Structure 1
Amino acid sequence: MTETAIAWDTYARQRPERRPTNARGETTWFNWTQYPDHGPGAELLRLPAGGRVLDLGCGKGGNAAHLARLGMDSVGIDVSAAQLQAARDRWGSVPGLSLVQADAAAYLDTAGSFDAVCSVYGAVWFTDPAVLLPLVRERLRPGGTLAFSQRPPVEGCYGCQASYIPRGDGEDPLVVKRWDYEPRGWERLLTDHGFSEARAKVLPAPPGRQKIGTLIVKAQA
C-alpha cells in the first residue's frame, strides 16, 4: 500500500457518513461544497441523457451514486480501499455505478471516454495539474465538462502545498500534497491545457458562523 493510500484510509476513518436524506428528503444528491444543502447540483456537469461520467476521488461515493440514480453510467475512482469499501457498503447495489480503486492519473491513462469528469474535494485538488489536466482533456468527449471544487487558497499560498491528516495521540500526522490557485490561476491553467469556457469562482459560505467559501471551477473540452 502506498503512503498516499494509507493517508486517505486514515482520513476515511475520521469522516462521518453522509446523512440518510438531505433537507429535501432525497436519498441521493450532489453536493459540491463542504456545507450541507448548499450550492448547485449535478446540473453543472451538463450531462446528456444516459451519459458517462467519472468522479475523480469519489470518497464514500455519495455523488457518484447520485449520478447513477440520474441514469448515468457513473464511474467513481479512489485510491483509498477504506473509502471505497464504505461506498460499496452503502451504494454498491445502485444500477449504473462502478467503483474502482486506482490512482487518478494512472486510471485516466488507460480509461475510455467520458461526457463529464467531476471532483469534489478530490483528486483534482491532490494531483499535479500539469499531469492530470492533459489526461482529463484527452478523455473528455468533444464539448464535455470538467468541474471540480475545493477550498479557496490562502492568500499568497499558491501551487503545491501540504495537507496534514491527523493520526492518534503521539503520532505524527500524515502528509499529502495539494495544489492551490486563485480562480484566475485555475482559468489560465485550464486554457493552457486546451480547455475552453474556463470559469472559476468562490461560492460564499451559507449564512451563519462559517466564513470559508467553496472554490468551484468548470471548463469545457
Structure 2
Amino acid sequence: MNRDGWHQEAERKWDSFAGKWASNSREMWDKGSRKKIIPFFSKYVPEGGKVSDLGCGDGYGSLMLAKSGYEVIGLDISSEMIEAANLRAADNSHLSFIRGDLAKLPFPNEEFDGVMAINSIEWTESPLQALSEIKRIVKPEGYACFGILGPTAAPRINNSYQRLYGEKVIINSMQSWEFEQLAIENGWELVADTGVEKRGVDVDKLADLSKELRQAVSFMWLFIFKKTVANEQFNQS
C-alpha cells in the first residue's frame, strides 16, 4: 500500500471512530490510561511554550495542555476528529486545530518548543518519516513526548493481529524498545521515560523488574526526547 492509500485508510478509520472516541476521551485523560501524560510533559516543556499535539483526536488532551499554560495547535488526520476538536477551542484563545498528516506536517521548520504524539506515530506507514517530520518542526533543544502502545494493549490486538492472515493493516506495531532505538539513532536524546500500567497490574510489584519487563506489562510507554542534533537541511534560508 502506498503512503496516500495508507493514510486515506487511516483517515477513514478514525473518521468512523470519532464519535466513540469523543465519548471516552475525557475519562481517559482525567482518570484512565492518559492521566499521567500532561504532568509528565509539563515536567520538561516550559510553561508558555508553543506546542503541537500530533494525533490530537477530539482535542481533549490539547485542551488540557492549553489549560496548563501552553500555546497549542492540535493536528489530526481525521476531519471528523478535528470538527469535534474545534468545538473545544471555541472559548480558548490559546488553542487551535488543523487537519494534517504526520508524514507531511503543515508547519514551518523549528516552529515548536515541544510536541506531543500519543499512540499516533504507529498509525503512519513510515514511523521514521514521521519522526523526521517531527524533528523538523521542533526547535533545537526542544522536546517531544511520545506514547507507544505496550505489547498486549487492546489496539494492537484489534488493529494489528490480522496482518498474520495476510490482511492489510494500517498500524505499525512497534515495541517500546524499538521506538527508543529508532529515535536515538535519528537525532533525539532520551531525557525520561515511564510506563502506564495495564489494568490489574500491581504497580508496587514492578519496581524491582528490569525496564524491558516493565514495558512488557505496560499498556503504554511514555518517552520524553530532546532534539539535540542540528540538521542543516532543516534550516530556513
Range into which the TM-score falls when normalised by the shorter chain: 0.7 to 0.9
Q: Distance in 2 between matches of 1:8 and 1:88?
A: 16
Higher strand share: 1
Mapping of residues 28-177 of structure 1, within 5 Å: 31=29, 35=33, 38-45=35-42, 46-107=44-105, 110=108, 113-122=111-120, 124-127=121-124, 128-154=126-152, 163=159, 175-177=169-171
Q: Distance in 2 between matches of 1:153 and 1:56?
A: 22
1:188 corresponds to which residue?
181
CA contact (8 A) 2:51 2:71 kept: yes
Distance 1:129 1:200, change over 3 A: farther
Q: Distance in 1 between matches of 2:174 and 2:32?
A: 17
How high is the TM-score relative to the length of structure 2? Answer: 0.69
CA contact (8 A) 1:58 1:78 kept: yes
Q: Distance in 2 between matches of 1:195 and 1:186?
A: 11
- Identity value in percent: 21
Q: Distance in 2 between matches of 1:202 and 1:49?
A: 23
Distance 1:40 1:60, change over 3 A: closer
Higher helix share: 2
Distance 1:60 1:40, change over 3 A: closer
Q: Which runs of 5+ in 1 are unaligned?
A: 23-29, 165-172
Distance 1:91 1:49, change over 3 A: same
Distance 1:80 1:151, change over 3 A: same
Q: Cα deviation per residue 1:119-178 (whole Å; 9 max; x = unaligned)?
A: 1222x22122211112211221122111111321259xxxx99826xxxxxxxx994223
1:179 corresponds to which residue?
173
Q: Superposition RMSD on alpha carbons, in Å?
A: 3.4
Q: Is 1:215 aligned to residue 208 of structure 2?
A: no
Q: Distance in 2 between matches of 1:57 and 1:202?
A: 20
Alignment-mate amino acid for residue 83 of structure 2: Q
Q: How far did residue 52 of structure 1 move?
A: 0.6
Q: Cα deviation per residue 1:90-135 (whole Å; 9 max; x = unaligned)?
A: 333211111001112212564551111101222x221222111122
Q: Distance in 1 between matches of 2:17 and 2:170?
A: 11
Alignment-mate amino acid for residue 137 of structure 1: K
Q: How far did residue 185 of structure 1 move?
A: 1.8
Give the secondary structure class of the aligned counterpart of 1:119: strand
Greater shift after overlay, 44-53 or 197-206?
197-206
How high is the TM-score relative to the length of structure 1? Answer: 0.74
Q: How many residues align?
A: 197
Q: Distance in 2 between matches of 1:95 and 1:103?
A: 24
Q: Distance in 2 between matches of 1:18 and 1:161?
A: 19
Give the secondary structure class of the aligned counterpart of 1:58: coil
Alignment-mate amino acid for residue 73 of structure 2: V
